[in-house]
Chain A
Amino acid sequence: MLRVTITISLKDGVLDPEGQAIEHSLGNLGYHEASDIRTGRIISFTIDETNLSRANQKVAKMCETLLVNTVIENYDITVEDQVEDE
Chain B
Amino acid sequence: MANVAVISFPGSNCDRDIITAVKHITGTDPAQYWHKETSMDKHDLVILPGGFSFGDYLRCGAIAARSPIMDEMMEHVWRGGYVLGICNGFQILTEAGILPGTLMRNKQLQFVCRDVMLTIHQTESNAILAQCKEQMQLQIPVAHNEGNYFADPDTLKKMADKGQIAVTYTNTGAENYNPNGAINDIAGVTSENGRVLGLMPHPERKAEDIHGGQDGRLLLTSVIEAAS
Does residue A42 face the partner (Cβ distance < 8 Å to B)?
no
**How many angstroms between the C-alpha atoms of A17 and B109 in the bound complex?**
7
Q: Is A67 touching B150 in the complex (CB atoms < 8 A)? A: no
Q: How far is the CB of B214 from chain A (nearest CB, A)?
A: 34
- Complex interface: stretch among B99-107, B122-130, B166-174: B99-107
**A contact patch SS:** helix
Q: Is A69 touching B101 in the complex (CB atoms < 8 A)? A: no
Which residues of B in the span 64-122 have a Cβ within 8 Å of any Cβ on A? 66, 94-95, 101-102, 104-109
Which residues of A in the span 1-29 have a Cβ within 8 Å of any Cβ on B? 14-15, 17-18, 21
Choose from A21, A65, A67, A72 the contact partner of B104 (Cβ within 8 Å): A72
**How many angstroms between the C-alpha atoms of A14 and B101 in the bound complex?**
12
Indicate the size class of the contact surface on chain B.
10 to 19
Q: How far is the CB of A65 from chain B (nearest CB, A)?
A: 8
Residues of A within 8 A of B106 (CB): 17
- On whether A71 and B109 interact (CB within 8 A), knowing A15-B181, A66-B58, A66-B62, the answer reads no
Does residue B152 face the partner (Cβ distance < 8 Å to A)?
yes
Q: Is B102 touching A71 in the complex (CB atoms < 8 A)? A: yes
Choose from B58, B94, B102, B107 the contact partner of A15 (Cβ within 8 Å): B107
- On whether A17 and B105 interact (CB within 8 A), knowing A66-B66, A69-B95, the answer reads yes
Q: How far is the CB of B114 from chain A (nearest CB, A)?
A: 19
Q: Is A17 touching B107 in the complex (CB atoms < 8 A)? A: yes
- Which B residues lie at the A interface, using CB under 8 A? 58-59, 62, 66, 94-95, 101-102, 104-109, 150-152, 181
6 closest A-B pairs by beta carbon, nearest first, are A71-B102, A17-B107, A17-B109, A72-B102, A69-B59, A69-B102
Could you pull out 28 A-B pairs where Cβ atoms are within 8 angstroms?
A14-B104, A14-B150, A15-B104, A15-B107, A15-B150, A15-B181, A17-B106, A17-B107, A17-B108, A17-B109, A18-B105, A18-B109, A21-B109, A66-B58, A66-B62, A66-B66, A67-B58, A69-B59, A69-B95, A69-B102, A71-B94, A71-B101, A71-B102, A71-B150, A71-B152, A72-B102, A72-B104, A72-B150
